[in-house]
Every structure is written in C-alpha cells, then in structure tokens.
Structure 1
Amino acid sequence: MTRSARPEIHLFEPSGYAGVFQHACRLGQLLGESGRHVVLHTGHEHEKVRIDGVDLCPCSWWPRDRRGGARRPSAIARRFVCRTLPHLHAAVPPGAVLHVQGIAAAGALTLLALSVGRFRDRLVVYSPHDTFSRRGRVDGALLRLALRVPHEVIVYSHADVEVLRRRGLEGHCSPLVQLVPAASDDERLAWRNEWRAGTDVSVVLFAGCIRPEKRLDVLVESARQWPANRRLAVVGEDRGGWAHCAELAHAHGVDVVARVGFLELGEFAAAISAADLVVLPYDKASQSGVLAVARQLRTPTVAANVGGLRELASRTFRAGDPHDLNRAIDAQLACAVAPDPSLDEDLAVTMHLLAYRQPA
C-alpha cells in the first residue's frame, strides 16, 4: 500500500491529565499548525484544555480518583483491552501514524497498544517519556520489550538517546514541548500569599508528583540550613512520598507550606511562575515536564545531575547530597540572570515529522 505524503496523525495518551497529556496537547497544536490532520485520543476525564486544530477523542477510561486501591488499575486494564484498543483499531485508518505517548509506566498496556497499532499498514511511533519503570522488574522488562515493537521511537533528552543506544536501539530526540498557559499577576500573588511570602522571602518550590524516588526528603534536609528569609513550598499529588517527608520536616522543625493534591494546569503553571526557584532533587529521571514548563515561564531551576535533567536545569547538584544542593540553591538565588525561555518548537515539529517519515 502506498502511504500518503501527509497521512493522519493519531496521538494516543490515555490518562488525559498531567505532564504527558499536556505535552501531547502542545505537540498536537504544533502539528496542526503545520497543516497536518491530528487526532488526540485520551482519557474521558481529561483536563479542560483548548487545543485549536486538534480533534479530541475521549476514548480511554482513566479516572483521576486514585482511591480505588487494587481495583482501579484492574478496571482500567479491563476497559483498555475491551474498549479502547478495539476503538483505536477501528478509528486509526490504514496508512496513518499512531504515536503512543507514555501510558503511565504500564508496560503491559503499552505493549498491547503498540502491538495492535502495527496492523493495517499503520506507522507506529512510541515516546516512553520514561525509559525506566517505577513498577518493578516485570514491568521494566515489558517496557524494554515495548521499545522494540514500534517502527520509530522519539525521546525527549539526549540522555535517553544514550539509554536506547546501550540497548541496541536508535531514537529521535526532540525538545519536550509543553502546553504552558500564561499566569496573571493576581494568580502569582495568590500563591505568594498562600506561601506567606512577601517580597523579602525567596520561595523554593518542589512541584509535581511526590514519589519516593523524587527525593523531596533531600530538599527537606537541605532546608534545615536555610536562612530565615527562605521558604520551602510543595505543590503536587502524593504518590507515596509525602508522609515520610512531612514527618521529616516536623522532626527537624522545617516549615513547609504544602498543597498536596492534583492541580489543574493553570494553577500549576501559576505556582511555578510565582516561585523564585524550582528544585528537582530526583534520584532517577529521563527528562522533566516541570523543567520544561519552568524554563518557558523563566523561573530558575536546580536539579540533580541525573538523566536528562541536566539538559534543561539552570544549575545542577550531586544527586542525594543536601549540602551540594544548598550550594546550588545559594548560587542560583544570587544569580540575577533569568533562564533562556526558548524551547525550539520548530525543531520539535521537524523531529516528529522525521519520525513520521513525512516531509516538513
């Protein structure tokens, strides 16, 4: 079958919220602006976003409420197999591009989506967003297997390109474009008031999912040595890391102003814009949507020197070392130069079209 020069592009991000979804939205916008017909297949409870030039298809059942315990992932998997995969098979025409985004580190579902996509002469592209699994050895093995199923792989850091090469694979590297709404002065002021931070207080912010491997505890340890005019703020959804960090802060007398829970994109971006510095003390990472958002909002960042974080951060420190983290925080807060906000969106479109085997 002869492939059209500009076949339909179907992006698939099943959850409908958080960083990978917001990336898929912006990518869809950019591809639409380049003259491509783009469909974004996503979760039924997706964030309310306006993405002109993109057809939004809420075909995936992926509830945001995480209180269902073990029943929630099994229910998601069951509907994914029985409803979403048959829908994708019917909705993505022969010759089209199917670009699978992330799938929340669920190796088995990723493998199924990619495998089904290979039928009917479709070009299958995969962006794992994380080249490692947070869910154990079996899931990690499935993820590594999934990387061998698509025709092309796109990653969002040069560090992940090297990870792929060590596994005998090749990947395209693209800037990590993100949907980033502008924050108003009133929205920034509201966050500063919530953080009890006047103009004489520097707010150091941890933003995003609070997982054990994201090492908020290292930031709490560093805060023990902070001057009185520096405040630690936390915003994000708890994924198993908050209780320990809250206990640690209480034990050390560290004042943490936290809003623990999922934030819609506008509020999240406003928090990053209102902070003086965003810190990512992670143990492991492929790249970071938080860093990409902060860079576009011109908020300085400090990140652990792991994975692709060093490629976007304003300054780095030795992972796991609170003393070196303090050095980096002091140096960055003393620096009057705002970070370069540029992410090359034209290059992102070019690299995706190259993976899709389409002329720019």
Structure 2
Amino acid sequence: MRVHLVWPAGIADLAAPSGGNVYDRRVSAGLSSLGWDVHEILAGGDWPRPDAAALAELRTALDHLDSGELVLFDGLVACGIPEIVVPAARRLRVVVLVHLRLAAETGLANDVRDELDRRERKVLHSAHAVVATSPWAASELASHHNLSVNLVHSADPGVDSSPLARGTDGASQLLCVASVTPRKGHDLLIDALSTINDLDWRLVCVGALEQAPAHLSQFQNDSRIEFVGPLHGPALEQRYDAADLFVLASRAETYGMVVTEALARGIPVLTTDVDPLPQTVGRAPDGGVPGLLVPATGLATALRNWLTDADLRERLRKAARDRRDMLHGWEHTTNRLAAVLTQATRSSPPSG
C-alpha cells in the first residue's frame, strides 16, 4: 500500500532534534519495514506560518498526486493551511498527525492563537482521520475542536531498549532533555533549584536554545547549570548514562517522549503533573510510581526530598527499573498508525 508522508523539512536535521521529528522519522521507517510504499514530501518553510513560496511548492506536490491517494500530514505543516489541505482532502485520503495543537504553544498572542485555532479546526474537520500521540491528547483534541470521537485516534510514541544508566553519585546529577522554550518550563525548574542552594546538585539541559526565555541567560555562568544545546547519538547517551534524576517542568505536553526515554534507562523522573504526564510516567507492576509528579509550585520541595531522602531515591529507582520492562517499542506505534491509515483508505469522505 502506498502512502505519501508530508513532513516539515527539518525532520532530516539530526542536529536539531525534537520529539515530533523523532516520531515522524521512526514511523516513516516503520511503515517501510511493514511493506508500505512510502513517499516522503519534505515541506520547506517556517511552519505553521510559511511564506508564499513554500505554500506554492507544497500545493504543486499535492496537485501531482492521483485522486484517492493516501496522504499523512504532520500537523505542524497541515493545520495552519486550510486553503491547501481542505481542497486536497476532497480528492485525496488525508490523515493528519497532531503532535501539539497549534494554539497550545506557550507565549502566543491572543489574536495569533485564535487564528491558528480557527485554521486548525477547518483542517481537522476536512480530514479522513486524525491521529494524536496519546489517548489524553486524542480526547482533548476531539473535545476542543468538536470532532467525532470516531475520527480521532491515538498512537503513543515508542521507545528503544537501552542499557541501565549508571548515574553519578546516585542523587545530585539532574538531566533535562527538551528544547529550551517557555512551554518546557526550564524557568520553573531553575527557579525551584535556586531555592535549595544549601544542597549539592548539578543540572544539565540538553536542547535547542533558539527560543530560550530571556531571563535564563543569567544562569549561563552558573557552574551548577550547563546548557549544552541539542545532542544526539553517543553524546546524548552519555548524558543519560550520567543522570541520577530526569527532570521536566513542562507547562503543557501531549505525551512526553523524553520521560519514557529516561525510564527506558531506569532513571527516576520528576515532572510537573500536567496531563498526560501522569499516564506517561505510569506505574510499575507493584503499583509504585517511578518518579515524582508535582504541580509547578511543588518542584522545590520535590527536589529537596529527592536530594535528602536516600530511602525515597532507592524506592523510585526500583520503580523506574520495574517500569522499564513495561514500555513498548516503536513497532507498536507503527502498527497502530498503519491500522488508522488502512481504515482511512476505506472510509467515506468527511462531511465537514
């Protein structure tokens, strides 16, 4: 079966990783391994608000597809351009993969947020199917945009098996892997750490810095905090291997792939309790939680408890190692997505 995958061109840049890019690359490879005839269309431009040249190039690529062909769009590309996607959905089988609602990005002006939301709603109502990256995100997407629950599906990200992290001293080495943006809450995390200066801790932040909140620059010379930019391959593996605790202070998430990346290495996690992170963190077979889930206001207390309570650290490490064996791989994700795509080839055109 043939499928055209419309991804933002940046997914090919391994030096600028993101959860969405990793997901797109892995399902593209996974569908190929399942025997699908995969054709990638890499859309250049500044998505979700591209220039006229990027729009023209994408429109031309879609116009060359035969009627009835199956197209899977990354939502970052599709959801801001109803003027292209809605007409295309009248003659093509369009499925949209939504990593994050466009209007859910932190820091948008109200008028920009409202316009992106309006555009996204038009696109999703025209699609033959919509895929979100967690059951919570699928439910939230359907509710927010008044979509039929039969239209919206979920395909959780997978995770690769990895060796157990050795850590550093068992307590003080903290790791955050996330682009340094307002949504990921690095400011919340560092503000919390600044209240426990009497304790020994070190924080490594791995992730792109282009959108870093301005006030974080004051910590660039703090010897306890290291911003290393984006890493991948062995360099990233070394940072995970040295971590005693994984930390993520997000203001919003749709899954939290880096959480399962940490758990795959047996690293306990500390995260904010925004949905769907409690489900992503999950529980070990005995019911133990492999980390600490707290509101943003509880980060400082949770960090202090981790650094001062050896029994707590041992309990969380055991739960993390037990949870590690429960995580599913990328083949599960690909199979879920393949089922949605297959169903879309048999569905009637959407009504709206």
User: Structure 2 length normalisation: TM-score?
Assistant: 0.74
Question: CA separation of 1:201/1:319 partners in 2, compared to 1, >3 Å: closer, same or farther?
Answer: closer
Alignment gaps of 5+ in structure 1: 1-6, 43-59, 63-71, 193-197
Within 5 Å, give how 1:247-286 maps onto structure 2: 247=218, 255-259=224-228, 261-264=229-232, 267-286=235-254
1:142 is aligned, of 119, 135, 138, to 119
| Separation in structure 1 between the aligned mates of residue 122 and residue 48 of structure 2, nearest angstrom | 22
Q: Go from structure 1 to structure 2 and tell me whether the alpha carbon gap of 1:102 and 1:329 turns closer, same or farther (over 3 Å shift).
A: farther
User: Partners in 2 of 1:74 and 1:33 — Cα distance?
Assistant: 30
Q: Deviations over 1:15-50 (max 9, x none)?
A: 2242212111111222222221122333xxxxxxxx
Relative distance call for 1:233 and 1:268 in structure 2 (3 A) is: same
**Structure 1 residues 161 and 201 mapped into 2: Cα distance closer, same or farther (>3 Å)?**
closer
Q: Is the 8 A contact 2:155 2:337 kept in 1?
A: yes
1:357 corresponds, among 331, 342, 345, to 342
Between structures 1 and 2, the one with greater helix share: 2
Distance 1:124 1:240 in 2: 32
Deviation at 1:297, TM superposition (A): 3.9
Give the Cα–Cα distance (whole angstroms) in 1 for the partners of residues 142 and 231 of structure 2: 36
Call closer, same or farther: CA 1:9–1:73 in 2, change over 3 Å. Answer: closer
Q: Quick one: higher RCO (CA 8 Å, sep 6+), 1 or 2? A: 2
Residues 161 and 264, structure 2, Cα contact 8 Å, conserved in 1: no
Identical amino acids, percent of aligned pairs: 17
2:80 to 74, 99, 108: 108
Does residue 40 of structure 2 align to residue 40 of structure 1? yes
Instruction: Extract unaligned runs of 5+ from structure 2.
Output: 282-289, 346-352
- With over 3 angstroms needed to count, the CA separation of the structure-2 counterparts of 1:348 and 1:74, relative to structure 1, is closer
Match of 1:12 among 6, 24, 30: 6
TM-score normalised by structure 1 residue count = 0.73
Q: How far apart in 2 are the matches of 1:143 and 1:254?
A: 43
Q: Which one of the candidate residues 200, 205, 220 is aligned to 2:190?
A: 220
Tell me the secondary structure at the aligned position of residue 82 of structure 1: helix
SS in 2 for 1:263: coil
CA distance in 2, matches of 1:218, 1:85: 41
Task: State the Cα deviation string for residues 199-240 of structure 1 (Å, max 9, x = none).
Answer: 466311121111123221221133232664421111211243
Give the CA deviation at 1:155: 0.8
Q: Does 1:231 align with 2:241?
A: no
Count the aligned residue pairs: 309
Is 1:95 aligned to 2:65, yes or no? Answer: no
1:309, distance to aligned residue in structure 2 (A): 1.7
Give matches, 1:298-337, under 5 Å: 298-313=266-281, 314-315=290-291, 316-326=293-303, 329-330=306-307, 333-334=313-314, 335-337=316-318
The answer to whether residue 127 in structure 2 is matched with residue 127 in structure 1 is: no
